[in-house]
Each structure stands twice: as structure tokens, then as C-alpha cells.
Structure 1
Amino acid sequence: MMKAMKKIYKTLIGGSLLSLLILALFSCENYLDKAPESIVSEDMAFSNFTNFQGYIEEIYNCIPDKEKKYWTTSWNWGDDELFNLEGNFHMTHQVDIGNFWAWQGSASTWLDDDNPDPTSTDKFRHGLWAHAWYCIRKANMGIANLDKLTTATQEEKDLIAGQLYFFRAWWHFEMMQYFGGLPYIDQVLPSGEKLTLPRLTYQECADKAAADFAKAAELLPIDWDKTNVGKRTLGKNQLRINKIMALGYLGKNYLWAGSPLMKNGAQTGGANTYNYDEEYCRKAAEAFGQLLNLVESGQTQYSLAEFKYKDIYNHVRAAGATSCYSDIFYTMGQNWLMPGSTEAIFRGPSTDYNGSNWNTTKTFGPKVKGLVEHDNIIHHPTANYVNLYGMENGLPLDDPDSGFDPTHPFKNRDPRFYHDIVFDGFKYVNAAMPADMEYLRYAGLATGGTMRNPADGSRTGYFIQKLVPHQANKYDGAYNWSGNLHTYLPYMRLGDIYTMYAEACAAFGGASGQATDFSKTAEEAINTLRDRVGAGHVNAKYTSDPHKFMDEVRRERAVELSFEGFRFCDLQRWLLLTEYPYNVKTAQEFDRVEDVQFFENNDPRDAEVANFREVPILTRQFGTKNYWFPLKISDTSLYPEFPQNPGW
């Protein structure tokens, strides 16, 4: 039966959007084992909570895993990252050269998949576009059959309906971020009818998604563990859709709709980058405010993970710390515990624990002499992005009062810099090494250094260790089975909510902007995140000017959410994707003053350097068309009301 259902799905996907929208698609549950042209058996599939929930489970299974979608994959397409030369086939580089068509049918990007299967537990078989229309159809079929749920309590009915409304909106929203306004499918489209559904504007789509997210928030509990239904699976409900997730996406959906791109349209020049739709931003602030009020009053299972480290470079938590910032992104030595800590709000499944180590955990460090094993693919943070990590006192590097010293460029930086970034002199290997490999123990990232070969080292003068610890190397062996290293990128977490709340409030009220249902201002929300890590508050010189304050909100978002896959969409919606300096990727060049013995006995942040300078690697030549990805020609050729995005 499973094999037959896979064949049906493959046939439909191999066709077009038309097939996905008008043909009935089914779950692989036994009670849904029907011919492809039939209707789901309402008296079995939808009559009780257990069967109906089984029908919904497949939608959870379809959520793409951005990090592990392929042997090597990419999800950072802004000014934040680039690959070494052998990684040029990845979407990151294809975006750099303007080839936005590359998202289509590519196994190495999570936006699409050339061989999708909603029933499969293989993480390689799940892509956004491939599954979205399928899951939207499933949600609509479920909503259309809610009246068949007769053998159920009111709590069970609400849980079923809430999940369906959430997922209908979520799949639309995820596509809208990259493709703009689409037809919003909120009914089961009958087979055989001619399609005439128009593409809506972004804001028209957002209004429909908001109605669904709001309805989900009304129906769903904060914590499934505290429901009668959830007690049957106590302690295993963390991924279930709840009120906090629905409120988070309600706010995000409104903020995106109120952002400069969505209000003013695609354009170059950056003149409208601070021009938000204040009505949408107020709605966003209210949704985020309700969520944060619930969190800060202790009514939820969520809280900011602690940033308390005994050893920041090795991510060793301090004694007494009850949660850990690093655990949001990966866990190690915790019996394959799924990452997220107390902070991750929305995640998909990650059942293939050791799948992290098939290659994801082997794509962040130097490949010199096989120091990090497997394919020669490396994620590099750009120097221009690393510069967004300001000083410990809270000021940006280019502020004349920041205290930044180019002869000691790694000293007194924002504490997240030391957590996230591998810089020159960093002790990369802790374990014993062969004598002829000892020269690679300390990261040689100065100009001409031991790890600066663009083919198998760093092109930019830095590596990333936020998402994968540096111990994922041949000698420390964190990626070996015994390390229990499990990675996963959440789609939404609490730190994300604080930055979005601050942005929404700042759009209509500057630093003192505030929702009616939460006590903190935009400024206080940003300072909450800085207090968590021990960085200085936003300086008064920035809070007094709405545009300068918005710049600081955006910088905070860049640092707090670095390399988590949000930067491209942020630059896009701020109308900055085409603008300097956000269209440039750079490297950090400098000469060492200290010798290697210095790093053996001293903190690398205290090292002196000379000739510290930034050098361009590439400039992205973008125009207005690059604010949206191109749709598939096979889809835009279906009917006149479904046109291609402008310029493509």
C-alpha cells in the first residue's frame, strides 16, 4: 500500500501545480487506502480523533529540514555566507550570480525536491514547493470534513481544527516569503474544473493567512501536555502545533505584510527602507505582545535559553546553568536529544538523529589535510557579516565611541562573537594530534595562514561554529557515533520573537513603541536579548533617532539570528537586497604580530594584528526582479490568472 501511495504522489508531483490543486491526494494510513480519484472515507478517516490526527500527522512529516535536506545543503542566501570554491553549485552561490532559477528541481535546496514523498521519513524527500500544495489540499480536505468528527470531545475537535487552520496558513506563508502573493487556496477544489484562481497581492494573501493563524490561536492550547488528549503522549508533544506557535506566525505574517517591500513594491535605491505599513505593524506588535506576555508571566513552557558559559569557545556551560544557548542549535552527548532547548517554538521532525553527521556537521570547518573529513564543502561567514557583531558595550564597530581597535580586532566583542565565530588563533583541536598535524591545532586565519586556502580553508578569515561545534573534526571526533551530535535549525524561536516585536513596535513608535498587551517597549525588547548574553544596552544616540534605532534593531536581529536562514528574507523585505553594502561579500585580511606560542598561553581575543583590512570577494548585481524568486514555467503556463513574477 505504501509503495502504491508513493507512486501516486510521484505521478502527481511530476505533473504540475494544476494536478496538485485539483486532484485528491491522500494519506498513507490504511483507512485512506483508496484509488487516487476517490474521496477519503469520511466515516472512517474523520469520525474520531485518533484517525483524524493520523491524517494530520503526514503534514508534520512534510516539513523540510533545512540543514539536512541533502548531503550538503545551503539555506543562507543573503550577505551572510558563501561557500568555498567547490560549493559553487549550491544555492548560496547561485543566488550570488543572480541565478534564482536554481531553486527548481534541486536536491540541494530545501525550497524544492526532484523526488518528494510525503510518506517518507527520508529527510532528502521533503521540499517546500513540492509539499506545500499537497499539504494545503490536505488541510482543506480536513477542514471540509470537520463536521464528520462526531465521536470526539470538544477539546479533541478544537485540537484537530486548530492544527488544520495553522497548517493551511503556514504552508502559504512559507511560499509567500520567496514568491510573493499567490492564490490562497481555502477550499477543496473539485476535479475537472478549469482553474481561474488569481494571484493575490502579498497583503491580500497575508490577510487570509492571518485569519487562519488567528483562528488556530483561539482553538489551540498553550501546552498539549496539559490537555486530556496530550496526557496520552505526555512529554512527547513538543512539536505539536499550539497557541504560541500560532501567535508567533500571526505576528510574523503581519510584520512581513507591513514591511517596506510589501508596502512599496520592489524597487532599488533604498529610499523606502524605513517606510512600513504602520497598521500591519501594530497588528504584528499585538500578536507578539500577547505571546511575550504569556511567556514572561510564566504561563508557557518557553523561555530564553541561558547564555552562561564556563568556556565560551568550547560551549561548556557554567555550573548551575539550567539551559544552554548552544542547545538551541545542536546537542552533543545527550543521547541524540533534539535541539531547541527551552527556546525553540516551531520545528519539524528530526527522527534521523545521526543524519546530522552524514555531512551537515562536516561542512563548517577546514578541510586542510582532512582535518574535517568528507566532501570538500565549507560554509563561510562573510567578513562584512561578522562586522555586525559589535562591541561588548553594545555599540557597533563603526561607532567612534565603540572602542574598536583594528590592532586588536577580536578584543571586547559582543559575547555572541566568541560563541559563534572561529577567528585567528582559536584552538580548533583539543585532542591529541600527530606531530605533523600540530600546526593545525590553532586556527591560522591571518592572510597566508595555514587555513586560508580558498579551496579547503577559509575564504573570509573566519569559520562558523554556532550551529556545529568546532570539535566536529577528525581528532576531537564530535561527529562520530559516540558523540551523539544532533543538529536542527528551528523555524521560529523566542529570540526571533523579541526582535520581530521590537521591529514592529519601532515601525510605528520608534524606540518607545509598545504593544497594548505587553509591558516592554521596542528598546526594552532588544535589551532583553542583550542582557541575556551580557552585551551593553542600545545607546541613547540610537534610541533618539527612529531610523538609527531601526538600524540597531536590524543589527541585533542579524547577530542574534546569524546563519539561521533568515537574512535573505530580511534584506528582501527591507528593500536592501540590491543596496550597498548589503550586496557585497568580503574577506578579512591582516597579518599576525604574535607567534603561535602566544596562542598556547593566551586568549586569542587578546592577540595583536597588523594591516587589518577588508577586501571584496564579490558584488551581487541585483535589480528589482531579484526581490522575488521566479515561479516554475510549467505552473505559470497553466492559465492567465497565474502570471510569472516581474522580470522573469
Structure 2
Amino acid sequence: MRNLYKLIGLFCLVGVMNSCEDYLDKPQDSNLTINEVFKNFDSSQGFVEEMYAMIVDYSLAFYANYPYYGEDSVGVETWIFDYSADEGRYWDWQGNTFNYFSGGTNTSSGIPFDRSSLWPSSWAGIRKANIVIANAEDLMVDANQQEIDAILGQAYFFRAFFHHEIMKFWGPMPYIDRVLEDDWRIERPSEWAETALKIDEDFDKAIALLPEDWDDASWGPGVQTAGTNLFRITKGAALALKGKNLLFAASPLMQGSSDTYGYNEELCKLAADAFAELIQIPRYRLQEWEDYEDVFYDPSGLYPDSTEYVFGQAGSVGWFGGYLADSWQLGALNGANGINSPTHNYIHNYFGMKDGLSCDASPIYDPNDPWVNRDPRFYKWVVVDGDQLIDNLGAATGEDEVNRYAEFYDGGAHRHPGKSNGTRTGYVGKKWYPQGYNKYDNQSVFSWRLHVRLTDVYLMYAEAAVMGYGIDGKPAGFNLSALDAINAIRERAVPDGSLNVSAVNLTSPNVFMDEIRRERAVELSWENHRWMDIRRWKVGTDMKYRLKTGIRFDRNSSGKPINLVEEVIRTKVFDEKHYWLPLPQNDTELYPGYPQNPGW
């Protein structure tokens, strides 16, 4: 991506910031004048592109980072923030560097900003966006209207996006819509929707200014970089974030509701309308089942190559792709010194059966043979005892012979604590790498997690539509209902419809919402959405979402699991205060209008 990490000194915020006051201070002097920075499209775009580097990369924040703060997985390392989160020690987001909130260690000479620093980078991004919005239209004297639109469209998107990112984790924030000088003591609103509606206005401006595709021959700003415009902000990305912002604003937590179905109907309709518009853009299509892996990794390329890509962190940094898989790959097969295991309760509660029902509701579920007749996505993304681990069966010899097939039973070669880096739960995830990614087959891979992909859009659409328009309702002029959206996703895996939503899950919008949430847990499993979903649905205090369990079992002579016992590995600490991260204490003492989050 041309000039993606080009640095321009004017107003550039460098280094790790320590408080809101720092982020909002006047910029340091520069040798460049503001007129020189914004004189034409190339120099303006160089300034804008620093904001792409400020998007937090949830997958590459740190090679050993386990950013799974829900009940979906359990790690072995106690010094990383996922363990702090499980213990309710949310203050550690500031002191524990191995998280994506405050910082990490994955900077390099080619990347001017630490991609794991969501808090400081987002505030810096808001300031940069405001500088662009305040100056571009008047100062871009050597630019045509399309070029000015491109600069302003990206800036409006980023101003909205960075506010949304901060609010996802810290709650309502004031909307900063100007370049602050000495007027930064802005009162923090009590209502999420107050700022969310201002975010929505900026996304609308971005939607009006940006193209559907930067490679469109009629879009002048993208012509000179044709073919390398994948990560540039588009109309589709702005529609996706518009809908997501509205859906979040409509959600129970943001509405202050104690009811997990307490959505705002009108905001849900607006969100569904935005998602519907995006789904109708021809360039976006659900990825086919046969090449679904293209959404998650590529053995040969650095960048996502799928019809589902909507919005993500720009670029990749070679070797981090391998480490991403290491943190999920069975340590014994790839030299990793730790492993993050999918929890049994998450897999049992959400990855259902081939008849489309959950394990507990399906008549074909056999607790004595739990891995048969499962939803095809279970086999696509989860490794169980006895599964083949190595493609090249001639590669492992001698003492390595034991690694040909998974041994997750008690005493097995790949069972923690038999192996300090073996599975703790009886499962291993494989969503982020091909089977051949191990020290025997030696297949390289680059993996990524996108901020938004089309399956997520379908799922958010279904959630918004069912609470805004009802089970069979839909926006005017759109032919996809919430039920149609869920079935379209399931029919990708099983085209004959046998996996589709059962009538027993369609008796009311609330019952169907439970099934939509289960579908979301399956399709977006381990993609860094779960913790946010649990919080915005206002279910975090429920014991169902606090337990992290595994299974212990033996094998019989036929290799089947016997004597299965579910064990609690960890019980998350989660009280009302844990719905939001605490704000930096120094920031809350700057002025009376900026209070700490409740309970902290």
C-alpha cells in the first residue's frame, strides 16, 4: 500500500502517551507548514495514512498474546492479560504490556506506531482526523474534487472509528470534533447514544465521499495505486462500521437495560438498514465452503484474499503470522512454549449437531460419543483426540512417532500437564492454520483476524433485524430477513438445508435471538468478538459465561473416549463493574466532568 507508513512531521504524535491530557496537547513545532502538508493529494494522503497504522491489530498485538477474554478459551500463562481479565484485575490493562489496550512490543523500523496500543493510538488518531477535517478542503489547492473527497472521507471514517473503538471498552466518551487547544475539558456524557449518534453522522459523511472500490477506473485517487488498494477505507467499510456502531448503541448494556433482550428498536432498524445496503454491494460475497480458509490464512501471501474482506488492520509483518498460529498450535508440534485451548463448555454450548440443533436440544447427540454427528464447522475448526496432526506421515520417526495423531486423553502425549504446552481442555483450535503447519511438514502460513468480514455483517444484520423488524421482517426494498441471513450462512456448510434454523427456535424473537447468538459464537469463534458480545448483551455476570471447563477422559480399545468428566479449570471473576475497563486514574482527576467508570 503506497505511502502506508510514510511519516510527515507536522502534528505527528510520537511515543507512548500516558494520559488524555498528553493526547490533546498542542502539537510540537515542525519544519513543514500546514500549507505544505495539505497542498496536494499525495502529501495529504501521506498524513492520512498514519491513521491506518493506528488501527489496533487484534491478531498481531504480541506474538504470545491471547486476546480471548471471554469464556471461549483458557491459556497457560499467568503473566498475560487474559489471566488478569479472568481474575477481574482490569487495572492491569495499563501495567501488563501484553494486551491490545495500552501497548506491547511489536514495533519495527517499518511500523511507526505500536499496533497493540488501542488507547493512546485511538486518541492520537482522533486528533489527526480533526486536523485533516479542519484544513484539507481549504488548503488542498493543487487537488481535484475526487482527491479532496478521498482525504475527507477517510478522515471522517477514522474520527468515527477511533471514538467507537475507545467506547467499546471504556464506555461513553465525549465526541471530539475539533482540534483541541486549551479547550479540552469536555464533559463526559452519561449516555452511550449521545456520542454514538455523532459517530453515525461522520460515518454517513464517509459513506457519501468514498468509493465502493478504490480500484474502480473512475475513481482517480486510486488509479495510480491500482491493485494495491485492498486496505483503503471504502464505502462498504463505512457502512459496516455505521451499522456496528448503531447495533452496539441499541444493545442492552449501552441502553442501560438489565434485560439481555432490552434493545432499542429504532436504532436496530437503522443498523439493519446500513447492513442491508452493504450486503447488496456486488464485491462482497460469503466465502464458499471449499475455500473458506482463505478468510483466515494464506500459506503464501501476506494479505487477506477473500470475498468477505470488509475492513481490517492494514498490512502484515512477516514473522508474526507464524507466531499467531503458534499460540494456538499444539506446542509439541511447533516449538511453541504455550498454548491457548478452546474450552469444553464453549464448544459444547455452541458447536451443535448436524441437524442444526444445539447439543443439549438434539436427539442425535450422544454424550458417550460426543464428537460424532456434529455440525461440519466443528470438524473444520476444532482438533479432537485421535485426529491426524501431520500431513506427511513419513516425516515423524522414532520418538516423534507419537505426534502423528492427537493424544488428548489422560496421560496422552499432547495432554497438559503431560506436556507443559499440551491442551488443557481436551481440544485444540485449528482455525488459523492448515494441518501442515508444524515442524515436520514445515508449511509456512500468514494468519489474520479482520475487524469486519461479511459473515459478521450477516450476523449483525440478523441481530439488528430481528429486534427491529421481527423474525420475518426486513428493511424496505431488501429481500433478506434475519432468518434468511442465518440460513444463508449455514447453507454454505450444508447446502441441503438440514443445518438450517429449526422451527423450535422460531417461537419468539427472544428465542430466535438466542439461536442467532449461538450462531455468532460458532462462526466468529476465537475471532476476538466474544468478550465484547458477552458485555454488550449484558450476560457477563451469568455463571454460564464465567466458567472455563475442560474434559478428562480415557480411551477404549477402539480409540473411543470413555469415562468422560467435565472439570472446571477456571471461574472468571465478573461483577457489574467489569462491563467497562477502568479509566486511567490520572485522567479522571483532571477535571470534574470526566468521572471514573462505576465500581473502579
Alpha-carbon spacing, 1:405–1:117, altered in 2? closer, same or farther (3 Å): closer
For structure 1, the residue ranges without an aligned partner over 5 or more in a row are 25-35, 309-323, 597-607
1:412 to 357, 364, 373: 373
Deviations 1:424-446 (A, max 9, x none): 10111223112212122110112
Where do residues 93-492 of structure 1 align in structure 2 (5 Å cutoff)?
Answer: 93-113=83-103, 121=111, 124=114, 126-145=116-135, 146-190=137-181, 192-193=182-183, 195-226=185-216, 227-265=219-257, 272-294=259-281, 298=282, 301-308=283-290, 324-332=291-299, 334=300, 336-357=301-322, 359-368=323-332, 371-374=333-336, 376-387=337-348, 388-401=350-363, 403-431=364-392, 432-454=395-417, 455-478=420-443, 483=444, 485-492=445-452
- Give how far 1:337 is off: 3.6
Contact 1:364–1:468 (8 Å) recurs in 2: no
- Give how far 1:476 is off: 1.6
Distance in 1, matches of 2:184 and 2:96, equals 30
User: What secondary structure is seen at the aligned counterpart in 1 of 2:550?
Assistant: strand
- Give how far 1:390 is off: 0.7
Alpha-carbon spacing, 1:10–1:552, altered in 2? closer, same or farther (3 Å): same
TM-score, scaled relative to structure 1 = 0.86
User: What secondary structure is seen at the aligned counterpart in 2 of 1:417?
Assistant: helix
Distance in 1, matches of 2:8 and 2:246, equals 41
Alpha-carbon spacing, 1:91–1:194, altered in 2? closer, same or farther (3 Å): closer
- Give how far 1:461 is off: 0.4
Code of the aligned partner of 2:404 = R
Code of the aligned partner of 1:239 = F
Deviations 1:94-123 (A, max 9, x none): 111101112114331111116798995177
TM-score, scaled relative to structure 2 = 0.93
User: Taking every aligned residue pair, what percent have the same amino acid on both sides?
Assistant: 38
Contact 1:103–1:109 (8 Å) recurs in 2: yes
- Give how far 1:412 is off: 1.7
Where do residues 40-51 of structure 1 align in structure 2 (5 Å cutoff)?
Answer: 41-51=33-43
Distance in 2, matches of 1:264 and 1:529, equals 31
Deviations 1:312-366 (A, max 9, x none): xxxxxxxxxxxx211111101x2x2412422121011234223322x32222133
Residue 642 of structure 1 aligns with which residue?
A: 594
Distance in 1, matches of 2:83 and 2:426, equals 18
- Give how far 1:150 is off: 2.3
- Give how far 1:513 is off: 2.9
Contact 1:10–1:115 (8 Å) recurs in 2: no
Distance in 1, matches of 2:410 and 2:508, equals 39
User: What secondary structure is seen at the aligned counterpart in 2 of 1:100?
Assistant: coil
Contact 2:302–2:315 (8 Å) recurs in 1: no
Distance in 1, matches of 2:535 and 2:297, equals 28
Residue 602 of structure 1 aligns with which residue?
A: none
Code of the aligned partner of 2:331 = K
Residue 572 of structure 1 aligns with which residue?
A: 535
Distance in 2, matches of 1:194 and 1:443, equals 57
Distance in 2, matches of 1:618 and 1:355, equals 29
Distance in 1, matches of 2:327 and 2:295, equals 19
Code of the aligned partner of 2:434 = P
Where do residues 527-606 of structure 1 align in structure 2 (5 Å cutoff)?
Answer: 527-534=487-494, 536-595=499-558
Contact 1:83–1:92 (8 Å) recurs in 2: yes
1:502 to 462, 469, 478: 462
Code of the aligned partner of 2:159 = R
Deviations 1:7-46 (A, max 9, x none): 98456x444211211322xxxxxxxxxxx14696232111
1:621 to 537, 553, 573: 573
Distance in 2, matches of 1:5 and 1:106, equals 30
For structure 2, the residue ranges without an aligned partner over 5 or more in a row are 1-5
Contact 2:58–2:449 (8 Å) recurs in 1: yes
Alpha-carbon spacing, 1:161–1:22, altered in 2? closer, same or farther (3 Å): same
- Give how far 1:611 is off: 2.9
Code of the aligned partner of 1:344 = Y
Distance in 2, matches of 1:155 and 1:8, equals 25
Code of the aligned partner of 2:466 = A
Deviations 1:479-534 (A, max 9, x none): xxxx3x11111100000000000000111343213222421110000001001111
Contact 1:407–1:612 (8 Å) recurs in 2: yes
Code of the aligned partner of 2:60 = K
User: What secondary structure is seen at the aligned counterpart in 1 of 2:168?
Assistant: helix
User: What secondary structure is seen at the aligned counterpart in 2 of 1:511?
Assistant: coil
Code of the aligned partner of 2:485 = A
Where do residues 33-112 of structure 1 align in structure 2 (5 Å cutoff)?
Answer: 36-37=28-29, 41-84=33-76, 87-112=77-102
Code of the aligned partner of 2:474 = Q
Alpha-carbon spacing, 1:331–1:215, altered in 2? closer, same or farther (3 Å): same
Question: Please, what is the CA RMSD of the aligned residues?
Answer: 2.3
Distance in 1, matches of 2:528 and 2:17, equals 28
